[in-house]
Amino acid sequence: MTVLKVNGRPVEISNRGDRTLATALREDLGLIGVRVSCAEGECGSCTVLVDNKPMTSCLMLAQQAKGKEIVTIEGMANGDDLHPIQQAFIEEQGFQCGFCTPGLILSTKAFLAENPNPTADEVSVGMSGNICRCGAYPYIVKAVLKAAELMDETATA
């Protein structure tokens, strides 16, 4: 078995080489919030954080993540307390069907870590690695800006 650190805890996955990280997270660990749609790195639904960087887990082998820290959507909330980004997506309704939402939230986390006070245009470009087929984009941009605001408040509180 291979040991990964997922959402702060060590976990075991199969040590098969020929499996993607997305498959391991969904099938071995039951983390269904890792959404897989296109399976070719285009849609961004399967985005997870690997050592705090956003990556499309469908284009990464599970074994490549060995020894790395992985965060999935399941690791964002603290019990019933939603992460400010999740809260912001709810408040601005930055989603419709919700399938792309976990990937977008993780992309947002990485994006805001690098650019905590972005402009709307920067957000718009920064979120372009995730497709929202329902077309919630303008509300996604608002949600990310709102999240920046909420996180800023949390940081200064």
**Which tokens is 20 given?**
């993607």
Q: Give the helix ranges, DSSP H, for the chain.
A: 21-23, 84-91, 101-114, 120-126, 137-156
Burial class from Cβ neighbours inside 10 Å (0-12, 13-18, 19+) for residue 87 reads: middle
Cβ distance to another protein smaller for residue 81 or 156: 81
**From the CB of 155, what's the least distance to another protein, in Å?**
21
Cβ distance to another protein smaller for residue 64 or 152: 64
Cβ distance to another protein smaller for residue 32 or 152: 32
Contact 33, 102 (CB under 8 A): yes
**From the CB of 94, what's the least distance to another protein, in Å?**
9
**From the CB of 57, what's the least distance to another protein, in Å?**
9
Burial string for 115-136 (b: 16+ CB within 10 Å, else e) reads eeebeeeebeebbebbbbeeeb
**From the CB of 153, what's the least distance to another protein, in Å?**
19
Cβ distance to another protein smaller for residue 5 or 137: 137
**From the CB of 52, what's the least distance to another protein, in Å?**
10
Cβ distance to another protein smaller for residue 66 or 153: 66
Query: 9: which DSSP letter?
Result: E
The Cα–Cα gap between 134 and 100 comes to: 9
